[in-house]
Structure 1
């Protein structure tokens, strides 16, 4: 006996990946009345390596998706506590005409399921435990995907007019379509875990800008401590590929040293995390190209949509997913697929200057001696650090774009003083 091949499922849009970018794309397409199917290889709830922090930009997107009331059940925080060179500054999120002046900390196992369920409530179809194993192509066009039910081990086809690639930083599906990272752009490397802490509901997320080991020696990268509000804190450390010798860095060692040198007030037992540390690599600054074909498009981490200033990717995943949903809705409604081809230009218009500044700054961050001097000077001025927070979190107002240009010129001048690494 042979098993009959299941008939293909058909939809307007197939979204590969149910994380922030994929679920946001599905949400906005479903809200517009489009037939959208999402395949997610894991089963919710599932863990993801992440700092779990939602900045005001991310909160704004979630509120627009109608998830504001759901967020209120999680830990809200007011801003960033920066710690370096024996100085501590508590910096509130700025007032902004569009974005709120607060953030939340939500574990990804809860956040991603929340957004995916919202998309389903609006009419999207979600298949979990289902992996898109390869694209379907006809006459040179992507027309869907072969997907595999990981539980049953059965492959089937999903046919779609358009395919959205949202399967994360490693994006096997995107690579099958020819996407690749520009290796001259920065890449992030991060590791995190959780600890029980009496300050699990602090109103500040904390960033350690001068990380040292137990012997006082400077370590590459920056550390974070994000209170989760459930008895635990998210503790992690990250660095950029602009750091010379980053390939030889032992991130587990960095994590161990950082945990053992956290300020005493966090009250953690550095030898007793609540789970094993996990890490990964993150393409940044729109470094993945091409982002688009005639009938497919990449969003979120699969397109390298991560901020090199601070490693933030959730809000850009939501934003690129929303933008693509609008373009696909137009393409489907008019029957003119050229609407989708505006995506690269719109991305460049929205993020071009900002990510150019961030790419330059990543060179500074990657030079420990220069970074130490910058943080030493910066931590002496609250007003300067307020500006740094606005720029790094991409929270400048329209009338403040001048400072962004000024920051770009200042960073460019600093970068020119940094010797090129020897071959």
Structure 2
């Protein structure tokens, strides 16, 4: 399939309708099609298209891609014959963490649940490849139509979605659907109409990214600078990143990196920083070491995190990926959760069809069980980091002394959410126990406004 031009025709009826063609939407459509379902995925933009993102893939994301692909995502998919989405992409061995007078290199942990490999792919290429995979799997892919309205029967809190109206230029079409999946981001207008409201009082991120040519684009480590200071020398509650992309940034012979930065913010302690200016200052700081060219294609975005939305499902609709705020508050990653939630949702559709309330109860319960504890604890930790002076006070403890490699190794694992309930090591037990305590605190202190995940 060529996704570079408007494609596909909108059907008048479809059993399963997916709005949004990013990783969450494409993975939903592909998984459903491979299961024999009649599915249509619609995106307002034509592909390839850009998305503000760090482009990094942790072992958790590689595992989710492997599950979707039906095998090694660097090889041809045995399910569809699609070229490997990670073919020719860099193999990332772990994190190189820098700051507060020290540097620690920590390989990905060797765990049963996740491969010890990460990667990085520009979103213009990753998203188009995943949408092609969905088309190869048998999904109907339609681009160039924007979802503008939704029709329900019954009350908005318990109603059933009947149809979605799309617009292209002056033309409008209405598509009736049996089940609707929302996968176009937490700021989706259709999501808001269905009651998906972002809880702005909770911790969220603001980030900017760029692409820089450099001869070090084949470096095998993701570099994270946890001591992120602005031009005035003030430490910001966030980090700078450098994701090696090999030669995947385009026509230049120089190899490239995705260079960016993000800061944490809450309504009580908003981040007082221009992230685009912070990015250029960060690039200047590492330019000599990385032999960087000038940052190009600078873009910024707001990142709702940790499941901080009011609703994620109704009788015959559900939200996945960013629309459900499935973004890790400790590292800003969402691709892994987008792929996971998409595949999980499709597995729940047959059960939902047999129950009177459909997805309204089982989908929130699943997300709480899968992500609730970890997201609750990560939100709490991220909120603490917004306190003025805290990062500067505790940061040096992690980078200096004989315990630094062990502490940063644990940080790498927790930042990547590379912990499962089956893990029995000390780090995992401590994290899982703390997560349950954090959830209990959420229920006790904020019963009226708690997010679905961790409630």
Q: Following the alignment from structure 1 to structure 2, what is the Cα–Cα distance between the partners of residues 237 and 255?
A: 6
Picking from 268, 278, 298, the partner of 2:319 is: 298
Structure 1 portions without partners, runs of 5+: 1-5, 413-423
Name the counterpart of 2:370: 350
How much does 1:142 deviate? Answer: 0.8
How much does 1:39 deviate? Answer: 0.5
**2:235 paired with 1:210:** no
Name the counterpart of 1:229: 246
How much does 1:215 deviate? Answer: 5.6
Name the counterpart of 1:145: 164
1:271-310 alignment, distance < 5 Å: 272-275=294-297, 277-310=298-331
Q: Deviations over 1:334-374 (max 9, x none)?
A: 47653563111111111111111101101222124111222
Name the counterpart of 1:399: 424
Name the counterpart of 1:250: 274
Contact 1:8–1:156 under 8 Å retained in 2: no
SS in 1 for 2:242: strand
How much does 1:284 deviate? Answer: 0.5
SS in 1 for 2:229: coil
Name the counterpart of 2:397: 377
Name the counterpart of 2:448: none
Q: CA 1:247–1:388 in 2, change beyond 3 Å: closer, same or farther?
A: closer
How much does 1:266 deviate? Answer: 0.7
Name the counterpart of 1:261: 285
**2:182 paired with 1:179:** no
Q: Following the alignment from structure 1 to structure 2, what is the Cα–Cα distance between the partners of residues 219 and 181?
A: 24
Number of residue pairs the alignment of both structures matches: 401
Picking from 33, 53, 56, the partner of 1:30 is: 33
Q: Following the alignment from structure 1 to structure 2, what is the Cα–Cα distance between the partners of residues 88 and 336?
A: 55
Q: Following the alignment from structure 1 to structure 2, what is the Cα–Cα distance between the partners of residues 7 and 395?
A: 40
Q: Following the alignment from structure 1 to structure 2, what is the Cα–Cα distance between the partners of residues 222 and 354?
A: 20
TM-score (norm 1): 0.89
How much does 1:85 deviate? Answer: 1.5
Q: Deviations over 1:264-315 (max 9, x none)?
A: 221113xx2232x111111111011211111111111111110001101010
CA RMSD of aligned residues (A): 2.2
Contact 2:235–2:392 under 8 Å retained in 1: no
SS in 2 for 1:194: strand
1:323-334 alignment, distance < 5 Å: 323-332=344-353, 334=354
Contact 2:68–2:343 under 8 Å retained in 1: no
Q: Following the alignment from structure 1 to structure 2, what is the Cα–Cα distance between the partners of residues 8 and 136?
A: 17
Which moves more between the two structures, 79-88 or 208-217?
A: 208-217
**2:58 paired with 1:55:** yes
Q: Deviations over 1:113-155 (max 9, x none)?
A: 11111111111101011111111223442122111235xx421
Contact 1:39–1:130 under 8 Å retained in 2: yes
**2:32 paired with 1:17:** no
Structure 2 portions without partners, runs of 5+: 1-8, 76-83, 248-254, 440-455
Q: CA 1:217–1:187 in 2, change beyond 3 Å: closer, same or farther?
A: closer
Contact 1:242–1:365 under 8 Å retained in 2: no
SS in 2 for 1:288: coil
Picking from 336, 339, 345, the partner of 1:318 is: 339
How much does 1:410 deviate? Answer: 11
